[in-house]
Amino acid sequence: MTDENEGAEQARAAAVAAAKYEKWKENGVLLRAFFYIAGTHLFAGFVWLLFVLGEHAEK
């Protein structure tokens, strides 16, 4: 009977570890997406600023 209990405990521990790993990966994806979106907006804002400044430049 103790072998069955140990096997069940190991299975539960593996399930908990897998759940933690998946949550960690999910957080990594969300963080990466945030930085990609923020970086894209910063770059677009910089390009927009170049057009505005070029439009008002003395020629």
Instruction: Give per-residue pLDDT as tens, 14-58.
Output: 888 888 878 888 899 999 999 999 999 999 999 999 999 999 988
Centroid of chain to Cα 8: 33
On the question of pLDDT at 59 being above 90, the answer is no
Provide long-range contacts, Cβ within 8 A and 24+ apart, for 33-39: none
On the question of pLDDT at 1 being above 60, the answer is no
CA–CA gap between residue 17 and residue 31 (Å, rounded): 21
- At 30 the pLDDT is 94
- At 19 the pLDDT is 81
pTM over 0.75: no
The domain limits of the chain are: 1-59
